[in-house]
Amino acid sequence: MIRPYNMATGAAPFDVLQVADIGDVPINTFDLKKSVAIITEYYRGVLAHGAIPLTLGGDHTLTWPILRAVKERHGPVALIHVDAHSDTNEHMFGEAVAHGCPFRRAWEDGCLQNDKVFQIGIRGTGYSPEDFDWGRKQGWTCIQAEECWWKSLTPLMADIRSRIGDAPVYLTYDIDSLDPAFAPGTGTVEVGGLTTHQGLEIIRGCAGLNLVGCDLVEVSPPYDPAGNTAVIAANFLYEMLCALPRVAEAAAKNRK
């Protein structure tokens, strides 16, 4: 069997980890609120086996129930949240459970270490200044997309690693963080986004952190007729696998 090898980082995850596709997570297709409870219970079972879940979505709401299960296993976590939107609304069209609200809900549930929350790539328009500033008021570090233009994000990730230290950390990556020139296959595109190179710098920059879970969300196949967005998402998820602690440690030893 030929096993993938990351030529850039030297990571060979299938040589170091037991990796499995455990299929679709059950949901209630008619009730999003009930789906939140179902997802939380499912991830309790996954985490009970000592697994590090890497999840593909779908609606960004799913990160909230995953974080609830992760908190039960690891306690409150550091968060690296890459997105065009802050997803910290109190309500979205009158609903508290929606893809614009998951990190407000996770904060309310005590899932996050506020001094170790980093939001990268936030941009576009909002309904009020609070859409951008609510997280900052909680002590989060919010890095708008304009601060990333024309830059390598490698120095940023070095700073984030030093600030997170050995705390457990969850990485959530919304594909709409990328400029729609790269990833049009999503429901809420915003111009002026990150490049695929910057996306790789962020994910590879997580190597060395105590990653306890990751997800890649908001890919919408109906909006992705050429399949480019899905290809980027699959590659980014593989890069997350390569950044997991045991894989990154083995790759570092091999480079010496």
Domain positions in the chain: 54-255
Separation of first and last alpha carbons in the chain: 26
Conformational region of residue 75, where left means phi above 0, alpha means psi within -120 to 50, and beta covers everything else: left
CA–CA separation, 65 and 209 (whole Å): 22
Q: What is the pLDDT of residues 58-92, one digit of tens each?
A: 899 999 999 999 999 999 999 999 999 998 987 77
CB atoms within 10 A of CB 239: 24
Contact assessment for residue 233 and residue 216, using Cβ atoms and an 8 Å cutoff: yes
**Span 172-201, average pLDDT:** 97
pLDDT band at 2 (very low <50, low <70, confident <90, very high): low
Confidence of residue 101 (pLDDT cuts 50, 70, 90): confident
Of the pLDDT bands very low, low, confident and very high (cuts 50, 70, 90), residue 1 is low
Strand, coil or helix: 54: strand
Residue 149 has pLDDT above 90, yes or no: yes
**Distance in angstroms (rounded) separating the CA atoms of residues 211 and 67:** 13
Instruction: Tell me the pLDDT of the chain averaged across its residues.
Output: 93
100-116 average pLDDT score: 95
- pTM of model > 0.85: yes
Pairing mode of beta strands 54-56, 77-82: unpaired
Judge contact between 83 and 176, C-beta under 8 A. Answer: yes
CATH number for the domain running over 54-255: 3.40.800.10
Annotated binding-site positions: 60, 83, 85, 87, 174, 176
Say which amino acid occupies 223.
Y
Is the distance from CB of 170 to CB of 80 less than 8 angstroms?
A: yes
Annotated binding-site residues for Mn(2+) read 60, 83, 85, 87, 174, 176
pLDDT in tens, 85-95: 998 987 777 78
Res 22: pLDDT: 95
3-state secondary structure at position 121: strand
Q: Calculate the alpha carbon distances from 95 to 4, 90, 238 in Å.
A: 43, 8, 34
